[in-house]
Amino acid sequence: MKTTFGFIGCGNMGGALASAVAKSVGGESLLLCDAFSEKAEALAKLCGATVASTREVAKNCNYLFLGVKPQGFETLFEEIAPVLMQRTDAFVLVTMAAGVSISAVEKMANCDCAVIRIMPNTPVAVGEGMILYDANVKTTQAQIDAFVAALSNAGKLDRLPEEKIDAASALSGCGPAFVYLFAEALADGAVECGLPREKANLYAAQTLAGAAKLLLTSGKHPGELKDAVCSPGGTTIAGVHALEDGAFRSSAIRAVTAAYEKTLKLKK
């Protein structure tokens, strides 16, 4: 029997994940729905999927990706919980809403089902995302394996205990904004030195991409890679000194911890 994937909510994140899944399993295995039907229809056309109603997705899909805002969960489950409770086959609820725990989803679903909680980031749109996830005890290893395989075109996936997801998301979820800010600042510096803006943006982006790939593939500590660029008495160490004068590392640490602290406040 064919495994089907349903997406309730086709916004930026839901749409990016749906596109990635379509590349892995084929668009014919996807059902899409959104409060704005034109959004679901446009995405379905792009990836060869089918547009369906919320109830149809809840009734027929093996994996249900819940791409609605946290404040919309209660309303969503008022509609789909009765449908889910009538199902006799195995299915998985995949939640991506910030601050909505696995136990909260279990309670709202009011049925004995598998739940996977994910926290993706925006680079999933280009297949370079970081997807954090955990699952409840009702989720089988086979279901997890199929889930990971389906999202293989979205980027890297890593499982960690749910209580660590908020801390990790303060880095991977918020981190792209910090990286873009750094890229913009690097480009601004180059523009101040006389480089055209278009060239500066390109060089900043490629430098970050290349450095990240080297960090991922070399297995070396970031400090070791930094030291390899810093020749004694050279230009790079002068730039590093300038960054440290501006409390660069301290500011980066504080950015992550501030994002984490804000997450904890929003959950209260």
CATH architecture label of 5-162: 3-Layer(aba) Sandwich (3.40)
Arithmetic mean of pLDDT, 79-98: 94
Q: Report whether pLDDT(265) > 90.
A: no
Strand partners, 95: 66, 117
Amino acid (one-letter) located at 220: K
Arithmetic mean of pLDDT, 18-27: 95
pLDDT tens-digit series, residues 129-177: 999 999 999 999 999 999 999 999 999 999 999 999 999 999 999 999 9
Weakest-pLDDT range from 92-96, 107-111, 239-243, 253-257: 107-111
CA distance 244 to 238: 10
Task: Report the CATH number of the 175-267 domain.
Answer: 1.10.3730.10
Arithmetic mean of pLDDT, 204-208: 98
pLDDT at 266: 77
Which is nearest to 168 in space by CA: 98, 103, 216, 233? 98
What's CA 194's distance to the chain center, in Å? 37
Which residues are CB-neighbours of 257 under 8 A, at least 6 positions away? 170
Q: Where are the domains of the chain?
A: 5-162, 175-267
Which is nearest to 130 in space by CA: 162, 110, 163, 156? 156
φ, ψ at 34 (rounded to 5°): -155, 150
pLDDT tens-digit series, residues 38-73: 999 999 999 999 999 999 999 999 999 999 988 899
pLDDT at 214: 98
Per-residue pLDDT band at 268 (split at 50, 70, 90): low
Per-residue pLDDT band at 18 (split at 50, 70, 90): very high
Arithmetic mean of pLDDT, 18-40: 94
pLDDT at 2: 66
What's CA 12's distance to the chain center, in Å? 11
- The secondary structure element, H or E, covering residue 66 is strand 63-66
pLDDT at 267: 75
pLDDT tens-digit series, residues 94-122: 999 888 899 999 999 988 899 999 999 99
Measured from the Cβ of residue 183, the count of other Cβ atoms closer than 10 Å reads 18
pLDDT at 98: 84
Arithmetic mean of pLDDT, 235-253: 97
Please provide the average confidence, as pLDDT, over all residues in the chain: 95
Arithmetic mean of pLDDT, 212-218: 97
